[in-house]
Amino acid sequence: MLPDELTAPEAREHAVRAEEDLLTARHAVRADAVAAGFSIVDQTKIVTAASELVRNAYIHGGGGTMTIAVVRDRRGRAGLALSVRDEGPGIGDVEQAMTDGFSTGAGLGHGLGGTRRLVDEFTIDTAPGKGTTVTVVRWKP
């Protein structure tokens, strides 16, 4: 976790501890996607990705934190970056977890693999006992 002074000024943190936090997190991502000027399709994709990630953190990770940041690449293109981390058991076999149809929870097993298709950049940092952090970026076309 970055110390406060290193966090981008636009970055906002949202705790995911209870069922209602899933909705709050979705609202926050929607509001930031609207503010960043994303189209309705792009808003829907990033909010759906956020929904998958925060539910994963809530169900598999026992809760976590979502950070939303407005980012820019070198060409000045704006994007929305979401980072969802939990202190849960972590994922032993990431490749398996990314495979469509694989699920240990209540979903369809499309959570992680599907989320990767909804965003432009996707990184996952996890290991057993170490928790899981998934960071995604969707760039504004």
Partner 1 sequence: MNAGAGLPILRLGDILISGLLSDLDDATALQFTGELTARISDEEIRGVILDISRLEIIDSFVARVLMELAATGRLLGARMIVAGMRPAVAITLSELGLGLTGVQTALNAEQAMELLGWRRPVEAAEEAPRAS
Q: Pick the binder of partner 1 from 16, 25, 43, 65 (CB under 8 A).
A: 43
Candidates 45-53, 60-68, 84-92, 128-136; binding stretch for partner 1 (CB under 8 A) = 45-53
Q: Does 48 bind partner 1 (CB under 8 A)?
A: yes
Q: Beta strands 121-127 and 64-72: pairing type?
A: unpaired
CA distance from start to end of the chain: 29
Q: How many whole angstroms separate alpha carbon 92 and alpha carbon 78?
A: 34
Rounded to the nearest 5 degrees, what angle is found at the Cα of 14, between the Cα atoms of 22 and 116?
65
Place of tokens 């997190």: 25
Q: Does 15 bind partner 1 (CB under 8 A)?
A: no
- One-letter amino acid for residue 129 of the chain: G
Print the binding letters for residues 65-94 with partner 1: x by CB under 8 A, - otherwise. ------------------------------
Q: Does 34 bind partner 1 (CB under 8 A)?
A: no
Candidates 80-88, 101-109, 120-128, 131-139; binding stretch for partner 1 (CB under 8 A) = 101-109
69 near 46, Cβ under 8 Å?
A: no
Q: Does 110 bind partner 1 (CB under 8 A)?
A: yes
Tokens of 138: 């969707």
Binding site for partner 1 (CB under 8 A): 19-20, 22-23, 26, 30, 40-41, 43-45, 47-48, 51-52, 55, 100, 106-111, 113-115, 117-118
